[in-house]
Chain A
Amino acid sequence: MSTAAKTAEGALKLTPELKAFIAEWKSKPGNLIMVLHRVQQAFGYIPREVAFEVADALGVPLAKIYGVITFYNLFKLTKPGRNQIQVCMGTACYLKGGEDIVKELEGILGVGLNTVTPDGEFSVEAVRCLGCCGLAPVMVVNGEVFGKVQTKDLQGIVARFRKG
């Protein structure tokens, strides 16, 4: 959120950097997905009001933007938790107990997959192969990779990232 601008009314807006990026890409065909990636990088998700601005800036109907966002797994319509946990559910991790990791995390955090905890601290998602099959089962918290994870390690890992 650091680079994202918030106006006094609390509405989210395209930042100057994002506007510059859109200007640079506007003339290139097939720019929509690249622009959405950049927007999500700034906000953590694609806020509705920002999608309106992107539609105007690129001259693309909002419906098309919504269509693209909902087609691809990576794009999010809602704000994720302050700490984002991703549990790998690639085949190697599945065979080595990835599902148990997800269940244990759901138990610890008290929310299901793709739901943010009430305090906004955590969200958990199951993701496709992270490509670290040698370290299976694998999970990632805010970009930090944890390999050969066991269910008994999870309390400790979550506690490390919890605020306070």
Chain B
Amino acid sequence: MAKLTVEALGALRGQQQAAARARGEGVVVTVGMGTCGVAAGSNATFEAIAAALAAQGLKDVLVRPTGCMGLCHSEPTVEVRAPGMPAVIYGNVDRAAAQKIVEGHVAGGRVVEELVCDTPALDIVTADIGGVDYEKQLRIVLRNCGVIDPDKIDEYIARDGYAALAKVLTGMAPQGVVDEVLKSGLRGRGGAGFLTGRKWQFAAAQPEGQKYMVCNADEGDPGAYMDRSTLEGDPHSVLEAMAIAGYAIGASKGFIYIRAEYPLAIQRLETAIAQATAYGLLGEDILGSGFSFTIELRLGAGAFVCGEETALLASIEGKRGMPTPRPPFPAVKGLWGCPTVINNVETLANIPVVLLKGAEWFGKIGTETTKGTKVFALTGKVNKCGLIEVPMGTTLRSIIFTIGGGIKDGKAFKAAQTGGPSGGIIPPQFLDTPIDYESLAKIGSIMGSGGLIVMDEDDCIPDIAKFYLDFTVDESCGKCCPCRIGGRKLLDYLDKICKGAGTLEDIDKMQVICEAMSRASLCGLGQTASNPVQSSLRYFMDEYKEHIEQKKCRAGKCKNLLSYSIIPEKCVGCTACAKVCPVNAIKGERKQPHVIDSAKCIKCGQCFDVCKFQAVVRG
């Protein structure tokens, strides 16, 4: 493969766009094959579609894979575009459904209504967005996810891929690039929200010499997978952005630090790097501009703290991932002592759009302080969990109830959690808060990297706080005392409360520890580890008090606080509960009221679930 010049890149784009238009005149069936899709069986779906098409004798239909379409609640998903018909996305496509879709939609020309789950989102690459609708999704970062085949660089190029890099290398000075990013107001999507342009500015201002550009793809927040989906669905957007950043700050070498737990993303990145290098879009003298930039992958090995900048750099250097005090900041003294910029995957995926459409276009989207969009992994007790991207300033209510389709099984919404183990628990009264960095901080949470977990009446708040603390205690590197000891003590208190042995003084002590941890810890992990506890104490004190004073867990999660009994008047003696009890704690004659032996009972709750007469009660 010959290396491309700027002209050749433009010609290739024209060719590929024409090819895409020609494809658009026929029928195209696209199968979502991100990690979720594959886990749900999309490989079988792909085969079934191909087989059904062959059986129908339909040879001109194109079947192609793509990354995540974001509809995790209905995987595997399949998009069908046919001339003269609306484009639709089908959900839960197993072999039988695949057959129906091919027979009905592709061969028969009618939409299989009962299987439709969505329509494709508005495409910012081909359409003008006009005004921003804050009730709907707007896909900037995910513009190509679920659209292109991630293993084909030509499909990325057809959708303006590498056009921003060409524009930057041929017509902009490095400082001009920094200025444009600064002007756009783009802030780091890893969680803290530092201005990306300012970070670049610091590194660019360092004397010439070896500098590094690092992509942080160590997505450790449990319950979040925005970066994984972006890398699996559109790896080139991150490579292009890294090359642009390298040019802006004067770095010739880039590293992507990625979790080893993401094999598919790693594989797609390796393919993408090889393709971009073959085209001369990475490597020596890119597009004949004289600028050289290479990218290597480095794998993480399962350490949450490595999401922290200085710990991440230590890990790339092959050491234990222990954070170091800042300053000096990595932009001044980073990898092997050289100036280093570290940007998160989502931040980088914005860069090509910012430079191609301009800072002004980007600045129109979002709120006063926070521009652009945010990708969330919407999970937990919502009807439609999935990967979504909304303009900054959208409310939690729109996300959970409009896009997420409300709470599962008609239960009551209790809380939302953003920012994972570093974030806060948000109660219902803040559902109408427009989301941006400042407004979330004001209510005691953080934007975080994009985990958004919805909880309902069956979730116990002290138990959730304990879950997060358990995580951060396990992941604390142990270097500084406030995090190492404070976290452990907090966890002990929470455990005590959940077991019904807590006292009100424990709460006072917890508050003191929280304060100490957030002020005195060395790095972001320790400084934010107490957020789930602090915010839940602030908004759900009544639930803590119930556990302590009444020994009651209203959600029924804390097993030590539960007791089960049978109301004799309601019990018909069907023996269902006695049969299901794993420890034979339920006795009684057939057609006679049964009794639970509380000394034997392990509080598993199976009798409660199995009783059809509401005779088993939980107290």
Are the C-beta atoms of A134 and B75 separated by less than 8 Å?
yes
Task: Evaluate whether A91 and B75 lie within 8 angstroms (CB atoms) in the complex, with A29-B336, A33-B299 already known.
Answer: no
Are the C-beta atoms of A72 and B385 separated by less than 8 Å?
no
Q: Is A20 engaged at the interface, CB distance under 8 Å to the other chain?
A: no
Are the C-beta atoms of B73 and A95 separated by less than 8 Å?
no
CB distance from A61 to the nearest CB of B (A): 12
CB distance from A28 to the nearest CB of B (A): 8
Q: Given the complex of chains A and B, what is the CA–CA distance between A30 and B313 in angstroms?
A: 10
Q: CB within 8 Å of A: which of B218-269?
A: 219-225, 228, 260-262
Q: Which of A33, A90, A91, A134 contacts B301 (CB 8 A)?
A: A33
Task: Evaluate whether A133 and B315 lie within 8 angstroms (CB atoms) in the complex, with A34-B298, A37-B299, A72-B302 already known.
Answer: no
| Size bin of chain B's contact surface | 35 or more
Q: Given the complex of chains A and B, what is the CA–CA distance between A125 and B40 in angstroms?
A: 22
Residues in B neighbouring A135, C-beta threshold 8 A: 36, 39-40, 72, 75
| CB 8 Å contact bits of B28-49 with A (1 = contact, 0 = none) | 0000000110111000000000
CB distance from B532 to the nearest CB of A (A): 10
Are the C-beta atoms of B298 and A128 separated by less than 8 Å?
no
Are the C-beta atoms of A91 and B318 separated by less than 8 Å?
no
Q: Is A12 engaged at the interface, CB distance under 8 Å to the other chain?
A: no
Q: Given the complex of chains A and B, what is the CA–CA distance between A36 and B298 in angstroms?
A: 12
Are the C-beta atoms of B380 and A134 separated by less than 8 Å?
no
Q: Given the complex of chains A and B, what is the CA–CA distance between A127 and B40 in angstroms?
A: 19
Q: Which of B72, B302, B318, B467 contacts A134 (CB 8 A)?
A: B72
Are the C-beta atoms of A30 and B317 separated by less than 8 Å?
yes
Q: CB within 8 Å of A: which of B315-364?
A: 315-321, 336
| CB 8 Å contact bits of B437-458 with A (1 = contact, 0 = none) | 0000000000000010101000
Q: Is A154 engaged at the interface, CB distance under 8 Å to the other chain?
A: no
Residues in A neighbouring B72, C-beta threshold 8 A: 132-135
Q: Given the complex of chains A and B, what is the CA–CA distance between A130 and B35 in angstroms?
A: 9
Task: Evaluate whether A72 and B316 lie within 8 angstroms (CB atoms) in the complex, with A131-B262, A134-B379 already known.
Answer: no
Q: Is B396 engaged at the interface, CB distance under 8 Å to the other chain?
A: no
Q: Is A94 engaged at the interface, CB distance under 8 Å to the other chain?
A: yes
Q: Which of B225, B301, B317, B455 contacts A73 (CB 8 A)?
A: B301
Q: Which of A31, A130, A134 contacts B73 (CB 8 A)?
A: A134
Residues in B neighbouring A29, C-beta threshold 8 A: 317-318, 336
Q: Is B483 engaged at the interface, CB distance under 8 Å to the other chain?
A: no
Q: Given the complex of chains A and B, what is the CA–CA distance between A34 and B542 in angstroms?
A: 49
Are the C-beta atoms of B36 and A90 separated by less than 8 Å?
no
Q: Is B303 engaged at the interface, CB distance under 8 Å to the other chain?
A: yes
Are the C-beta atoms of A131 and B318 separated by less than 8 Å?
no
Residues in A neighbouring B301, C-beta threshold 8 A: 33, 36-37, 72-75
Q: Is A112 engaged at the interface, CB distance under 8 Å to the other chain?
A: no
Q: Is B482 engaged at the interface, CB distance under 8 Å to the other chain?
A: no
Q: Is B67 engaged at the interface, CB distance under 8 Å to the other chain?
A: no
| CB 8 Å contact bits of A73-85 with B (1 = contact, 0 = none) | 1110000000000
Are the C-beta atoms of A67 and B317 separated by less than 8 Å?
no
Q: Given the complex of chains A and B, what is the CA–CA distance between A150 and B118 in angstroms?
A: 28
Q: Given the complex of chains A and B, what is the CA–CA distance between A73 and B299 in angstroms?
A: 13
Q: Is A145 engaged at the interface, CB distance under 8 Å to the other chain?
A: yes
Residues in A neighbouring B320, C-beta threshold 8 A: 67-68, 71
CB distance from B407 to the nearest CB of A (A): 12
**Nearest A residue to B34, CB-CB:** A131
19 contacts between A and B (CB under 8 A): A29-B336, A37-B301, A72-B300, A72-B303, A72-B321, A74-B260, A75-B302, A89-B222, A90-B222, A91-B420, A91-B467, A92-B453, A95-B381, A129-B221, A131-B225, A132-B225, A133-B225, A134-B379, A147-B39
On B, residues with C-beta under 8 Å from A are: 35-36, 38-40, 72-73, 75, 219-225, 228, 260-262, 298-304, 315-321, 336, 377, 379-381, 385-386, 417, 420, 451, 453, 455, 459, 464, 467-468, 471, 477
Known: A134-B40, A147-B40. 8 other contacts (CB 8 A): A29-B318, A71-B477, A72-B321, A90-B222, A95-B453, A95-B464, A133-B377, A134-B36
On A, residues with C-beta under 8 Å from B are: 29-34, 36-37, 67-68, 71-75, 89-92, 94-95, 127-136, 138, 145, 147
